[in-house]
């Protein structure tokens, strides 16, 4: 099958053959929804079945029933659909998507399982047999990085594992200067993302950082715990919580920031890091998941061990007190993230789909 060149969108005839399943992307919260939202701009038509939304258990059950009906309608009434591209993760997401993987094969569709979950490895260890059987049903597994690709190949011996870069929107750069060093954190507020390690480092060095550094952080999760920590440790002049950050607010913060920090304990490939790199920001993060493949220690940021608070402080200080270094690292970030911009990811997806469609 051949497609015509189109720098903006996937070719219409190819896009018409793809059905996506995943979390509701129209009000994106989190990396998976952000990826789906960008996909919606490069696929026309964009056939999509939402399988889950943010909400309570009753809402989620209702959406799942709706998704099942919608999916069955497409399978029966839309014979042009040849590939079902499923965005999934671990735990509840896996069990939901497993149903659609098996149904897709019953209708003789090609199945692409796009694994996003940072905790998929620990989940798969607990449910190794069922994960193995489910992945065998998939024609291709998409991994977020080479390290995750190696995991799926070595652990499950899957014959078709492809790395497709997490896609991000093209940046809208309009830098905003500040008198203080702005350190940005965006993600779930909780231990896994390392936000409380970061707050502890700031608290122990409050007198050093006051008047020089501001941490701006946003996300959902253990918000009240974070606010209470800030209050108890007198960080009101250093740490500022912004709520859930998206849209124009996120663009403004990325333009204001001098560096991005995400001291996580486990990850897949964080979209927030990729977005920050596209805005010419140096990165401070950890050697987990696919992060070391996009953040090179000493090149476009600093990589530390999870929980290494001494290393976290040293990385912050290097960037805080050396403008030339952070500007140099920011330029490196922007260059290294090019493969995650829409035109590049579009080509990666086109190649994958064409290969699947040509394989009988």
My answer on whether 329 and 300 are in the same domain is yes
* Rounded average pLDDT over 5-30: 84
My answer on whether 64 and 186 are in the same domain is no
Count the Cβ atoms, other than its own, within 10 Å of residue 298.
11
Q: With cut-offs at 50, 70 and 90, classify the pLDDT of residue 222.
A: very high
What pLDDT does 117 receive? Answer: 77
What pLDDT does 2 receive? Answer: 43
Question: Can you tell me which residue has the tokens 């977005």?
Answer: 275
* Rounded average pLDDT over 256-260: 98
Domain assignment present for residue 59? The answer is yes
Domain assignment present for residue 3? The answer is no
Domain assignment present for residue 1? The answer is no
Model confidence over 32-51: pLDDT tens digits?
888 999 999 999 999 999 99
What pLDDT does 29 receive? Answer: 72
* Rounded average pLDDT over 147-152: 93
Model confidence over 289-302: pLDDT tens digits?
889 999 999 999 99
What pLDDT does 28 receive? Answer: 61
My answer on whether 331 and 354 are in the same domain is no
Domain assignment present for residue 4? The answer is no
Domain assignment present for residue 7? The answer is no
**How far, in Å, CA of 138 to CA of 135, rounded?**
5
Q: Looking at the 3D structure of the chain, how many domains does it have?
A: 2
Domain assignment present for residue 76? The answer is yes
My answer on whether 192 and 108 are in the same domain is no
Q: With cut-offs at 50, 70 and 90, classify the pLDDT of residue 56.
A: confident
The residues, ordered by sequence, that sit 6+ positions from 100 with a Cβ below 8 Å of its Cβ are 21, 51, 71, 84, 86
Mean pLDDT of the chain: 93
My answer on whether 61 and 153 are in the same domain is yes
My answer on whether 221 and 279 are in the same domain is yes
**How far, in Å, CA of 6 to CA of 21, rounded?**
24
Q: Quick check: 52 and 64 in contact, CB under 8 A?
A: yes
Indicate whether 6 pLDDT > 70: no
| Whole-prediction pTM | 0.83
What pLDDT does 162 receive? Answer: 96
My answer on whether 334 and 346 are in the same domain is no
- Containing structural domain, residue 264: 181-338
My answer on whether 200 and 348 are in the same domain is no
My answer on whether 150 and 187 are in the same domain is no
**How far, in Å, CA of 329 to CA of 324, rounded?**
9
Model confidence over 176-208: pLDDT tens digits?
989 999 999 999 999 999 999 999 999 999 999
Q: Does residue 219 have a cis bond before it (omega within 30 degrees)?
A: no
What pLDDT does 26 receive? Answer: 83
My answer on whether 249 and 305 are in the same domain is yes
Token digits of residue 125: 């260890």
Indicate whether 1 pLDDT > 70: no
My answer on whether 113 and 255 are in the same domain is no
Indicate whether 227 pLDDT > 80: yes
Domain assignment present for residue 69? The answer is yes
* CATH number of the domain that residue 294 is part of: 3.40.50.2000
Domain assignment present for residue 186? The answer is yes
* Rounded average pLDDT over 16-31: 87
What counts of helices (H) and strands (E) characterise the chain?
16, 12
Model confidence over 106-142: pLDDT tens digits?
999 999 999 987 789 999 999 999 999 999 999 999 9
Indicate whether 15 pLDDT > 80: yes
My answer on whether 54 and 151 are in the same domain is yes
């Amino acid at each position: 099958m051949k497609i015509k060149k189109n720098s903006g969108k996937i070719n219409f005839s190819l896009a018409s053959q793809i059905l996506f399943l995943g979390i509701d992307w129209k009000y994106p919260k989190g990396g998976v929804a952000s990826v789906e939202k960008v996909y919606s701009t490069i696929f026309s038509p964009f056939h999509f079945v939402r399988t889950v939304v943010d909400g309570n258990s009753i809402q989620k059950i209702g959406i799942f029933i709706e998704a099942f009906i919608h999916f069955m309608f497409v399978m029966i009434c839309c014979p042009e659909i040849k590939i079902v591209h499923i965005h999934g993760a671990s735990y509840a997401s896996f069990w939901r998507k497993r149903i659609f993987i098996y149904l897709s094969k019953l209708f003789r569709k090609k199945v692409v399982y796009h694994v996003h979950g940072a905790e998929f490895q620990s989940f798969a260890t607990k449910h190794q047999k069922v994960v193995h059987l489910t992945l065998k049903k998939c024609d291709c597994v998409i991994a977020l990085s080479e390290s995750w690709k190696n995991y799926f190949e070595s652990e499950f011996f899957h014959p078709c594992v492809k790395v497709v870069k997490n896609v991000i929107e093209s940046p809208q750069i309009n830098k905003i200067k500040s008198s203080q060093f702005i350190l940005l954190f965006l993600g779930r507020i909780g231990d896994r993302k390392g936000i409380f390690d970061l707050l502890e480092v700031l608290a122990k060095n409050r007198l050093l950082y006051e008047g020089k550094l501001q941490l701006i952080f946003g996300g959902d999760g253990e918000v009240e715990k974070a606010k209470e920590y800030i209050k108890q440790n007198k960080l009101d002049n250093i740490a500022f919580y912004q709520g859930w950050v998206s849209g124009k607010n996120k663009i403004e913060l990325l333009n204001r920031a001098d560096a991005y920090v995400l001291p996580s304990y486990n990850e897949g490939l964080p979209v927030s890091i990729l977005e920050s790199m596209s805005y010419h920001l140096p990165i401070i993060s950890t050697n987990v998941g696919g992060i070391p493949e996009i953040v090179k220690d000493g090149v476009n940021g600093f990589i530390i061990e999870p929980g290494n608070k001494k290393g976290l402080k040293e990385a912050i200080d290097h960037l805080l007190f050396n403008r030339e270094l952070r500007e140099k690292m920011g330029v490196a970030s922007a260059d290294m993230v090019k493969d995650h911009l829409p035109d590049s990811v579009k080509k990666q997806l086109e190649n994958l789909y064409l290969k699947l469609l040509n394989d009988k």
